[in-house]
């Protein structure tokens, strides 16, 4: 399919030209509009992504239609990523809907999944993705945190137990045939009271061990210099969710407080969309993808 072919060319460009594409979660149509406007303002390729909770609310087919509509309206390079897909069956459904990127994450649904189970499910999705040419992403470990605002500090000694290893990455990529490896180098889902710290040296060793693309989940609330260093090492995708949710809710609360008598919600939404758009644009700049769009 044409979109999948373009997505593969984009992935090759990220490695060759040293930039990463932001994968931005949508909770609703407003966040999708914010992403689309940011992509147009920065002339950047973007991935719109949704996990199972958003899938349950919006629907796979509805997401495909909405993204295609805004892509045409704004004249932008935009793709869909099915993020943290918990089962082979649901991954297949995303592939059937024409999603260009599929992240199969068996360990997210079952923290006790064995290596054999994860590899088998991932291989099955990779094989099925040949139907459309969708790019498949996975990892051999449970990835911690949650896309929320956390009050607790990060226990890095505990988190390090789930860090990727170059050897493990190589074995997993060769066993599954995935297009993108989700690396764990200190990135963590959610926002925390202290900034995240990425192990760039570990990323370098992982990059040297595998040929496929590398993604970083849990990119929210990470100092920009880590992303700039990671891009130079060679990553293709960074996932952002919590920063957008924080901006959305914070600005919505401001609007509700400042306009207590306004019940036409549509009149409260423009500043909320602008706040989320600002977050997306800031991350596009961090990832070096501005002016990289190719229509």
As given in the structure block, the two tokens for residue 131 are 């139907």
- Other CB atoms within 10 Å distance of the CB of residue 147: 23
83 is catalytic: yes
- For 195-223, write each residue's pLDDT tens digit: 888 999 999 999 999 999 999 998 888 99
| Confidence (pTM) | 0.94
Average pLDDT (18-26) is 98
Which burial class, exposed, middle or buried, applies to 283 when counting CB atoms under 10 A from its CB (0-12, 13-18, 19+)?
buried
> Pick the catalytic residue: 56, 65, 68, 83?
83
Rounded alpha-carbon distances, angstroms, from residue 94 to 91, 102, 129: 5, 7, 10
Task: Name the binding residues.
Answer: 84, 105, 139, 189, 217
The answer to whether 47 touches 86, Cβ cutoff 8 Å, is no
Task: Name the binding residues for Zn(2+).
Answer: 84, 105, 139, 189, 217
- Select from 201, 202, 195, 249 the least CA-distant residue to 224: 195
Please count the residues of the chain. Answer: 295
Which of 11-15, 105-109, 158-162 shows the lowest per-residue confidence on average (mean pLDDT)?
A: 158-162
If one looks up domain 2-242+274-287 in CATH, what number appears? 3.20.20.70
What pLDDT sits at residue 146?
66
Rounded alpha-carbon distances, angstroms, from residue 132 to 92, 125, 145, 237, 252: 11, 12, 32, 21, 39
Q: What 3-state class would DSSP assign to 192?
A: coil
- For 1-16, write each residue's pLDDT tens digit: 789 999 999 999 999 9
* Boundaries of every domain in the chain: 2-242+274-287
């Amino acid at each position: 399919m044409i979109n999948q072919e373009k997505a593969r060319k984009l992935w090759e460009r990220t490695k060759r030209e040293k930039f990463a594409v932001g994968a931005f979660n949508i909770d609703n149509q407003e966040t999708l509009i914010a992403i689309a406007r940011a992509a147009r303002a920065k002339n950047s390729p973007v991935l719109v992504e949704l996990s199972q909770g958003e899938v349950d609310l919006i629907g796979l087919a509805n997401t495909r239609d909405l993204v295609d509509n805004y892509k045409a309206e704004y004249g932008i390079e935009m793709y869909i990523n099915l993020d943290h897909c918990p089962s082979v069956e649901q991954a297949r459904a995303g592939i059937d809907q024409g999603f260009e990127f599929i992240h199969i994450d068996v360990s997210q649904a079952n923290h006790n999944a064995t290596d054999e189970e994860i590899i088998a499910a991932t291989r099955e999705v990779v094989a099925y993705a040949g139907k459309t040419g969708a790019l498949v992403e996975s990892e051999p470990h449970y990835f911690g945190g949650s896309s929320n605002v956390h009050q607790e500090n990060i226990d890095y000694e505990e988190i390090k137990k789930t860090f990727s290893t170059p050897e493990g990455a190589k074995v997993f990529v060769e066993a599954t045939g995935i297009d993108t490896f989700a690396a764990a180098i200190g990135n963590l889902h959610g926002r925390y009271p202290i900034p995240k710290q990425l192990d760039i040296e570990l990323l370098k060793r992982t990059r040297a061990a595998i040929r496929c693309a590398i993604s970083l989940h849990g990119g929210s609330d990470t100092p920009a210099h880590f992303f700039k260093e990671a891009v130079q090492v060679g990553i293709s995708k960074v996932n952002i969710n919590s920063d957008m949710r924080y901006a959305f809710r914070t600005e919505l609360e401001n609007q509700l407080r400042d306009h207590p008598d306004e019940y036409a919600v549509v009149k409260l939404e423009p500043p909320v969309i602008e706040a989320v758009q600002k977050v997306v644009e800031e991350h596009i700049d961090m990832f070096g993808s501005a002016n990289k769009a190719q229509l």
